[in-house]
Amino acid sequence: MAEQVKVRNVVFDIGNVLLSYRPKEYLRSLGFSEEEVELYRRIIFGSSLWLDLDRGVIDERGAVAQLTAAYPEHAQGIARVFSDWYSMFVPLEAVKVLPRLKGAGCRLYVLSNFHRDAFRHVRGKYDWFDLFDGMVISYEVHAIKPEPGIYQALIDRYGIEPRDSVFIDDMRENIEGARPFGFYTIHHKSFEETVGELENFIGFEL
């Protein structure tokens, strides 16, 4: 019997869905103390500048300069954090289902908050990005999830119909942001749970 796709479009977040993103683990790998881990998590990854990077209103060089000016006593640590932070982006199990979805006729999209330089790095490194029919990355549209503008950008750019689409994200607020547009949603917690929910939407086993 031919497979029947119930939902035509599958929209993926990147961080902690397709690629790992665990700042605390990365900071610990650099040999920082737990106090330093919390410090750099807060002033870098948890800062408004990090959101500005996602919005594309500042680049990494500018962010490092501003952070160094704000925390001159931590200049060496800040430089160390930025020196190799792309290394935390490691493919997760979900990438294994991309060829299967594509081969079954699903259209694949990315909707993600991501910095320009970091995205260019991972896009060039992993060829499975070629499987996607389209991508909307926050720095390009100067809007971040869960702001309405980034979901609308996906709809407008590719003409997708939300009621024919399922959106997968690990952040509940981003899932909630997609629902008013009519997207079906999956709150990603584990690969097994997500695959089970996705199979229900698409109508075949992965």
Over the chain (206 residues), the average pLDDT of each successive run of 10 is 67 98 97 97 97 97 97 97 96 97 96 97 98 98 98 98 97 97 96 95 87
Q: Residue 155 corresponds to which tokens in the numbers above?
A: 């709809």
At 1 the pLDDT is 33
Report DSSP state, residue 191: H
Contacts 24+ apart (CB under 8 A), 117-126: 117/59, 117/60, 118/60, 118/85, 118/86, 118/89, 121/86, 121/89, 122/14, 122/19, 122/86, 122/89, 126/19, 126/91, 126/95
Handedness of CA 16, 24, 47, 117 (dihedral sign): negative
Q: Residue 182 corresponds to which tokens in the numbers above?
A: 């009519």
State the Cα–Cα distance between residues 192 and 197, nearest whole angstrom: 9
| The model's pTM | 0.94
**Contact (CB, 8 A) for 92 and 191:** yes
At 204 the pLDDT is 86
